[in-house]
Amino acid sequence: MSSTIASPALTPQVTLNPGGVKKIQDYLTLSEQQLADRIEQARHQLGDRVVILGHHYQRDDVVAHADFTGDSFKLAQQAKTRPNAETIIFAGVHFMAESADILSGAHQKVILPDLAAGCSMADMAGLEQVESAWEQLADSGITSLLPITYMNSSAAIKAFCGQRDGVVCTSSNAVPLFDWALKQQERLFFFPDEHLGRNTGVKFGIGLDEMAVWDPRLPLGGNTVEQIQKARLYLWKGFCSVHGRFLPRHVDDRRAEHPDLKVLVHPECRYEVVVKSDLHGSTEYIIKTIKEAPVGSEWAVGTELNLVNRLAKQNPDKFVTLLAPDLCMCATMFRISPENLLWSLENLVAGHVVNQIKVDDETAKWALVALDRMLDLQ
Ligand code: 13P
Ligand code: SF4
């Protein structure tokens, strides 16, 4: 008989030993050095058969083993351009691994080393809720409407957009994709990040009073029919549990401490924070801006802690600090660890694919339409 073992720190996942699958428990007591050495050894044994993609928010001891690091957009591109790898190990979160599965070839398998590495924002938009919202808008007389979903959404939401001439965007390309979308239809419905949607919409002259926030728990999303008919941009009421915590007072506090400091934030931050900042942009933009900044410049960065700490280490000639000193990392990104990375790799060496992420064919077909539309518009 088989059983499943769950550990609070390094989630579950394997059925005990059917045909020799290695157990995650055996990896939890290894030293940092043993883990690093064995990861490199397994990578060497697997050669080009495996590629490890790592998001910038991953911890240093995972990033150290990635073949490619990037933001959501760059990693989606990478997933499409590695046809020789039989397996893609995604050091990131669930929606990224799903996108990699959709974009990679049919012969390729995608592994997420910890199945509990999800994204609270992506979980805020369920397919049935989005379908219901779409119907309620149609019943309110809204017809010329295009759906855009942020990359941080389930494959089912991406498929919903693909079926309705919609598109996916990331924080790197939200502006050109809004530009394209507004040429297709009069109104946009953006899921699931209210803040990225608002921060992008204002760049196109859409007034705050022309945006309606859609709360899926309420009839008509919490709006009146008049508000719905006035709006040009509907914003799903979702947010990032990391970026949503930065507040305007954090900008004021940092500036009071360091009068010459510049504030640089991710567009998943609230509008009130973005308007107070000096600069805002995607993860790649943040990295490039700090790298190219003058020696001696001072920066408070409003994004994920692991990335900010890495930027501080990589730029010792500049002062780089987190915008809010008391905020923590993305807990789900942090679930990917050297332990479960090694466990995935050594199982591959032994011929076992663990924690495979597989999107069903029908969902993948339509999600690919929306993802390819994004990639083609670049
Ligand atoms: P990007 O990688 O697009 O900057 O998104 C940030 C993020 O929160 C990923 O989960
Ligand atoms: Fe999701 Fe925010 Fe974590 Fe990104 S940083 S994975 S958006 S919770």
Q: List the domain boundaries for the chain.
A: 8-118+333-358, 122-241, 243-322
Q: Is the pLDDT of residue 9 over 50?
A: no
CATH fold of the domain at 8-118+333-358: Rossmann fold (3.40.50)
- Any idea which architecture 122-241 has in CATH? 3-Layer(aba) Sandwich (3.40)
8: pLDDT strictly greater than 70: no
Share of the chain above pLDDT 90, in %: 89
Fold of 243-322: Rossmann fold (3.40.50)
What is the Å distance from ligand 2's center to 120 Cα? 7
pLDDT of residue 17: 53
pLDDT at 7 > cutoff 70: no
Mean pLDDT value of segment 358-368: 97
Q: What is the mean pLDDT of residues 47-58?
A: 96
Tell which atom from ligand 1 comes closest to the C-alpha of 119: 10
Distance 171 CA to ligand 1 centre (A): 7
Q: What is the mean pLDDT of residues 182-193?
A: 97
Quote the ligand 2 centre to 239 CA distance (angstroms). Answer: 9
Q: Is 240 touching ligand 2 by the criterion CB < 6 Å?
A: yes
Q: Whose CA is nearest to atom 7 of ligand 2?
A: 240
pLDDT in the model for residue 87: 96
pLDDT of the residue at 5: 31
Average pLDDT, rounded, for the chain: 93
> What is the model's pLDDT at position 153?
98
Residue 265: phi and psi, rounded to 5, are -130, 160
* CATH fold match for the domains 8-118+333-358 and 122-241: yes
Q: What is the pLDDT of residue 14?
A: 45
Q: Return the ligand 1 atom nearest residue 243 CA.
A: 8
Mean pLDDT of 81-89: 90
Q: Does residue 10 surpass a pLDDT of 50?
A: no
pLDDT at 18 over 80: no
**Sorting pLDDT into bands at 50, 70 and 90, what band is 216?**
very high
Which ligand minimizes its atom distance to the CA of 54? 1
Average pLDDT over residues 333-353: 97
252, pLDDT greater than 90:
yes
Q: How confident is the model at residue 6 (pLDDT cuts 50, 70, 90)?
A: very low
pLDDT on residue 243: 97
Ligand 1 atom closest to residue 95's alpha carbon, by position in its atom list? 10
